[in-house]
Structure 1
Amino acid sequence: MRRLAPLALLLALPAAFYAGHWQSQRQLAVRLEQARVQAEQLQLRTVELEQLRRQLAVMESGEQLARQAGEQNRQTIKLLEEQVFQLQQELATYKEVLAPDSRREGLRIRAFQLQSTDDPRRFRFQILLSRVGPDERPLEGTLLVELRGRQGGRSRNLPLTTLAETVPAEGLPFAFRHFQAIPEGGQFAELVLPEGFEPLEVRLRARVKGQRLPLERSFRWAELQ
C-alpha cells in the first residue's frame, strides 16, 4: 500500500493538469463568445447612431430652410404692406389735390406712419407730405420732428435728429409738386428711443421757403401703433 500511494499521486498530477487546462479553455471560450456578442451590439449601435445623425442633419436642414422661407415670407409681407400704404397715401393725395371744393391751398402734413420691430425701443417710420392747389411750382423747405414724452418722472422733448442716424441736424429737406414720402421709394427710416423714455406725442413743424409761418401738426403716439 505504501508503494502504491506515490504511484497514485503521480497519476493524479496529469489528470489535475488536464482538468485545469480544460476548465481554463472553457472559460476562455465563454469570454470569446461574450466579446463577439458585444462586438455585434457595438456594430449595431454604431449603425443606429449614424442613422440618427443623418436624420438629425436632415431635420436641422429642413428647419433651417423653413426658417429661411418664413423670414422671406415675412419680408415679402412687410414690403407689400409698405407698398399698399404708399399707394393708399398717394391715392388719397391725388383725390385731395383734384377735389374741386378744396379751399385750403399749400403744404399738408398728411401722415406719420410708425411700425414696431422686435426691439421694443426701435421703430420704423415714414412721413408723407402733400400740397393742395393748382400751383405747379415746387414746394421746398425743411421738416423738423420732435418726440414729446416723459423720462424719470419728468417731461422731456427729444428732436428726431438725436434718435435717428439718417436725420440731419438741420432737419429733413423736402421739395415736391404734389406729394413726397420721407424717406422716398417706399422705404422706412428707423429711430431708437432712449432707455426709460415714454413717448406721448410726435410733433412736426414744416418751414416752406417763401412763407413766414411754419405748418405744424401733432400725432399721438398711442394712435400711431
Structure 2
Amino acid sequence: MGTWEVRLSDPGRVRRARLAFLLAILLIPVAFYSGTLWQAHNTQAVVAEHQPMQARILELEAELDEVRQRLTVVGSGKNVAQQANEQNRLTIKLLEEQIYKQQQDLAFYKGVLAPASRREGLRVRAFELQATDKPLHFRYKLLLSRVGKGDTPLAGQLLITVEGRQGDKAVSLPLAELTRGLPDQLNAQPLPFSFKHFQAIPDAGRFAELRLPEGFEPSQVKVRAEVKGEKPLERVFKWIDKE
C-alpha cells in the first residue's frame, strides 16, 4: 500500500520568494557599482590630500636646484679667487726678485764708488718687518751689503735676536727659534753668510715668516755680524708699531 504525502500549496509565498530572488540578483550590480563609486571617491580624496604635498616637493626640488647652482657659482668664484691669488703671488715673487737684482747692482756700484775715507767692509743695511693677518705672525727680511772693491767673498756669521718682555722678565729670543715649523725656517744660529757685494736673508729678496710666543712683547731686533779678522758689527732695529 503506497504512502501518501500531503503538501500545502501557497501561491503567494512562492511569488514572494521569486521576487526576493530577483531583487537579490538586481542588487548585486547595484552594490558593485556603489562600491566602485565609493572607491573612486576615496581615491579622489587621497589625491586631493596629496596634491599640496606634491606641490611642496616640487618647490623644494626647485630650491635645491637653485642652491646647487649657487654652489656652482661660488665654487667657480672661489677657483677664480684662488687663481687670482696665485697669479698675485707669482707677480709679487717676480717683483721681489727684480728688486733684489737691482739692490745687488746698486750695492755693487755703491761699494765701488764709495769714498776712500769710508771704512770698507760689511754693512747691515736693514731688517725689514711686516705685519700679517695672523696674530703673532710677522714677515721679515735682512739685507747685508759690502763697501769696497774686494773680489773675494766676504764670509762670516750672524746672531739675530728679538728682544722684549715676557711678563715681568726681559727676554731675548733667537730668530731661529721663532721660525721653527714655518716655511723658510732657520736651522740654527749663528747664521753663516758669504757674498761679494750684496746678500738677503732669506735669499732672492723674499720675505720669510716668524711667529712670536704667546704673551711676548717685542721691542727691538738685534743683529750682530761677525767676520773673521774684523771687529763685530752690531745694529739694533726697533720693532714695528702695532697700529
Could you say whether these structures have the same fold, taking a TM-score greater than 0.5 normalized by the shorter chain as the test? Answer: yes
Distance 2:57 2:237 in 1: 71
SS of 2:203 mapped into structure 1: coil
Q: Percent identity?
A: 38
Q: CA RMSD in A?
A: 3.9
Question: What are the equivalent positions in structure 2 for 1:122-137 lying under 5 Å apart?
Answer: 122-137=137-152
- Counterpart of 2:48? 34
Residue deviations 1:173-218 (CA, integer Å, cap 9, x gap): 011111111222333333221111111111111110122x201111
Residue deviations 1:120-177 (CA, integer Å, cap 9, x gap): 2222322111111122222111111111112213322112232223334441101111
Which sections of structure 1, spanning at least 5 residues, go unmatched? Answer: 1-6
SS of 1:185 mapped into structure 2: helix
SS of 2:90 mapped into structure 1: helix
User: Structure 1 stretches (4+) deviating beyond 6 angstroms?
Assistant: none
Is 2:79 the counterpart of 1:60? no
Is 2:89 the counterpart of 1:75? yes
Q: Which amino acid aligns with 1:215?
A: L
- Counterpart of 1:205? 224
Which sections of structure 2, spanning at least 5 residues, go unmatched? Answer: 1-18
Question: What are the equivalent positions in structure 2 for 1:1-225 lying under 5 Å apart?
Answer: 21=35, 24-25=38-39, 27-31=41-45, 33-34=47-48, 37=51, 41=55, 44-45=58-59, 48-49=62-63, 51-101=65-115, 103-165=118-180, 166-211=185-230, 213-222=231-240
TM-score (norm 1): 0.77
* Structure with bigger gyration radius: 2
Aligned residues: 223
**Alpha-carbon deviation of 1:36?**
7.5
Query: 8 Å contact 2:151–2:196 — kept in the other structure?
Result: yes
Distance 1:224 1:209 in 2: 38
